[in-house]
Amino acid sequence: MSTEMPRILVVDDEPGMREGCRRILESEGYHVQTAEDGLAAIELFQARGDFAAALVDLKMPRMDGIELIERIRKIDEDVTALVMTAYATIETAVQATKQGAYGYIPKPFTPDELLIPVKNGLDMRALSIEARQLREERERQLLEVASERSKCRTIINCMSDGVLVVNRSNQVVLRNAAAGLILPKCDSADLPADSSTLACPELQDLIEDTLASGPEPVIHSREIALGGTPYMVNASPILERHQQATGAVAVLRDITALKELETAKSMFVSMVAHEVKSPLGAIEGYLNVLLSGIAGDDPDQHRKMLERSLLRARALGAMVSELLNLTAMRTGNFVIKRVPLDLLDLVATTTESCREQADKKEQALSFSCALTVRNHDVLADKAAMSMVFKNLIDNAIKYTPAKGHIAVRVDYDRAYVNVTVEDDGIGMTPEDTDRAFDEFFRAKNDKTAGIPGTGLGLTLVKTLVETHHGRISVQSAPGEGTAFTVSLPIAE
Amino acid sequence: MNETPRQTRARVILLVDDDPDFLEVSRHVLEGAGYQVLCAASQEDAMAKARESGPDLLITDLMMTSLDSGFALAQQMKRGPEFRGIPVIMTTGITARMGLDFTPRTEDDLEAMHVDAYFEKPVDPALLLAKVDKLLTSPREEDTK
Of A282, A295, A296, the CB nearest to B22: A282
Q: Is A338 left (phi over 0), alpha (psi -120 to 50) or beta?
A: beta
**Does B25 lie at the interface with A, CB-CB under 8 angstroms?**
yes
Task: Name A166's bridge partners.
Answer: A172, A248
Chain A interface mutation, best of B25, B63, B101, highest count of A Cβ atoms under 10 Å: B25
CA pair distance A57, A36, nearest whole angstrom: 10
Min Cα–Cα distance to chain A from B19, Å: 8
- Lowest mean per-residue pLDDT among A388-402, A428-442, B128-142: B128-142
CA pair distance A145, A132, nearest whole angstrom: 20
Output DSSP code: residue B98.
G
In A145-218, beta strands by DSSP E: 162-167, 171-175, 193-194
| Strand, coil or helix: B60 | strand
Domain ranges of chain B: 12-136
CB contact under 8 A, A308 and B24: yes
What residues in A contact B65, CB-CB < 8 Å? Answer: 449-450
Q: What is the pLDDT of residues A393-413, one digit of tens each?
A: 999 999 999 999 999 999 988
Q: What is the pLDDT of residues A210-257, one digit of tens each?
A: 988 777 778 899 999 998 899 999 999 988 776 777 889 999 999 999
**Does B27 lie at the interface with A, CB-CB under 8 angstroms?**
no
Residue partners of A30: CB distance under 8 A and separation at least 6: A5, A6, A7, A8, A118
Q: Measuring CA to CA, which residue among A474, A387, A473, A461 is closest to residue A425?
A: A474
Residue B10 has pLDDT above 80, yes or no: yes
Average per-residue pLDDT in chain B?
A: 81
**Nearest-by-CA chain B residue for A270:** B98
**Does B139 lie at the interface with A, CB-CB under 8 angstroms?**
no
CB contact under 8 A, A289 and B125: yes
What residues in B contact A282, CB-CB < 8 Å? Answer: 19, 21-22, 25
The pTM (predicted TM-score) of the whole model is 0.51
Q: What is the DSSP string of A385-444?
A: HHHHHHHHHHHHHHTS-TT-EEEEEEEEETTEEEEEEEE-SS---HHHHHHTTSTT----
Q: What is the pLDDT of residues B33-89, one digit of tens each?
A: 999 999 998 888 899 999 998 899 999 988 776 667 888 888 888 888 888 889 999
Of A270, A286, A289, the CB nearest to B99: A270
Residue B95 has pLDDT above 60, yes or no: yes
Q: Measuring CA to CA, which residue among A271, A272, A342, A322 is closest to residue A464?
A: A322
- Lowest mean per-residue pLDDT among A130-144, A358-372, A439-453: A439-453
The stretch A4-19 carries a mean pLDDT of: 90
Residue partners of B131: CB distance under 8 A and separation at least 6: B89, B117, B119
Q: Which domains does chain A have, with CATH numbers?
A: 7-133 (3.40.50.2300), 159-254 (3.30.450.20), 259-330 (1.10.287.130), 339-489 (3.30.565.10)
What residues in B contact A267, CB-CB < 8 Å? Answer: 99
**Nearest-by-CA chain A residue for B62:** A274
CB contact under 8 A, B19 and A278: yes
The stretch A136-142 carries a mean pLDDT of: 85
Going by pLDDT thresholds of 50, 70 and 90, the confidence category of residue B96 is low
Please indicate whether residue B90 or residue A269 has the higher confidence score (pLDDT): B90
The interface pTM score, or ipTM, of the predicted complex is 0.78
Name the amino acid, one letter, at A121.
G
CB contact under 8 A, B122 and A281: yes
**Does B72 lie at the interface with A, CB-CB under 8 angstroms?**
no
**Nearest-by-CA chain B residue for A286:** B25
Q: What pLDDT does B145 receive?
A: 39
Residue partners of A56: CB distance under 8 A and separation at least 6: A11, A12, A41, A65, A68, A69, A81, A82, A83, A84, A101
The stretch A154-174 carries a mean pLDDT of: 91
Q: CATH for B12-136?
A: 3.40.50.2300
Output DSSP code: residue B93.
S
Q: What pLDDT does B97 receive?
A: 56
Residue A442 has pLDDT above 60, yes or no: yes
What residues in A contact B97, CB-CB < 8 Å? Answer: 273
Q: Is A403 left (phi over 0), alpha (psi -120 to 50) or beta?
A: left
Going by pLDDT thresholds of 50, 70 and 90, the confidence category of residue A2 is very low
What residues in B contact A273, CB-CB < 8 Å? Answer: 95, 97-98
